[in-house]
Amino acid sequence: MMRQQTEGVNERSRDIDLKSIPEILSIINAEDRKAVDAVESALPDLVPLIEKAVESLSGSGRIFYVGAGTSGRLGVIDAAECPPTYGFPAERFVGIIAGGLGSLVKAHETAEDDEANGRQVIAEHQVGSEDVVVGISASGGAPFVCGALREAHERGAVTGAILCNQDGPIAHEAEIVIRLLTGPEVISGSTRMKAATAQKMLLTSFSTTVMVKLGRVTGNFMTCMRPTNAKLRERAKFIVSNVTGVSEQVAGEALEKNGYDIRKTVQVFRSCQ
């Protein structure tokens, strides 16, 4: 049986246990650079998944990330940022991790082997033909993710797969496949390293581009952001000031009058110009 790239031996770090601290850090840093190259190579394959996602969210559809272990955590984290950053409903951009949300803080390694539970969570969310389900697995073989993708496909949803090997079971369960070929890890098999770095970069690119195409930004400003704390209220003043040309003091006064609704405040100023 051929061993997957993510489980291979990295020759650069074969004797890492004999290296000095600066040498270890240099090796890790050099290998991390491969994550950037892997994402760049995968961008053309990401485009159709983004197009499907924009189409889905422009209607009444939803996006689901499904993963296990580190891959699942990354999906949950990325989905969780969409409501505060873009004012997007949390129930329409969902992260699912094998073993449930408790797996975010404590590893449940056996949960990824439960294919039936992968099917079950998709059924529980009543996934349908208007939805997009993205399976994330560094190895490409997590049964939980395979089960989720299979159930989603049978229910008519658009399915995508993100893996860090050339091939893997999830690649055969999805219509859109994105391969992040990062190669063997510094610590063999520890895909929380550069494989996860590449996954994080790709997910950020995916969600950001989707939100941009949905009109959730003005220029490069997050005008749908929810200013729920002091730092974000200061950011809101800066955004309104830059988009409209008024001073931050004037922007702050207008934001207070409009319940710190950035987009509404911008529209008020533009209607007066």
List the catalytic residues: 81, 112
Strand partners, 94: 64
Distance between CA 221 and CA 211 in Å, rounded?
A: 12
Backbone angles phi and psi of 161, in degrees to 5: -130, 135
With DSSP H G I counted as helix, E B as strand and the rest as coil, what are the percentages for the chain, rounded to 5? 60, 10, 30
Distance between CA 241 and CA 222 in Å, rounded?
A: 13
Backbone angles phi and psi of 178, in degrees to 5: -120, 120
CA atoms within 13 A of residue 213's CA, in its CB half-sphere: 17
DSSP conformation class of 218: B
User: What radius of gyration, in Å, describes the C-alpha atoms of the chain?
Assistant: 21
Strand partners, 136: 67, 162
Provide the residue type at 115 as one letter. E
- Residues sharing a CB contact under 8 Å with residue 188, sequence separation 6 or more, in sequence order: 7, 8, 9, 10
Determine the distance from the C-alpha atom of residue 16 to the mean position of all C-alpha atoms in its chain, rounded to a whole number: 31
Under 8 Å between Cβ of 138 and 71: yes
Structure tokens at 196: 């996860």
Distance between CA 69 and CA 71 in Å, rounded?
A: 5
Structure tokens at 137: 């697995």
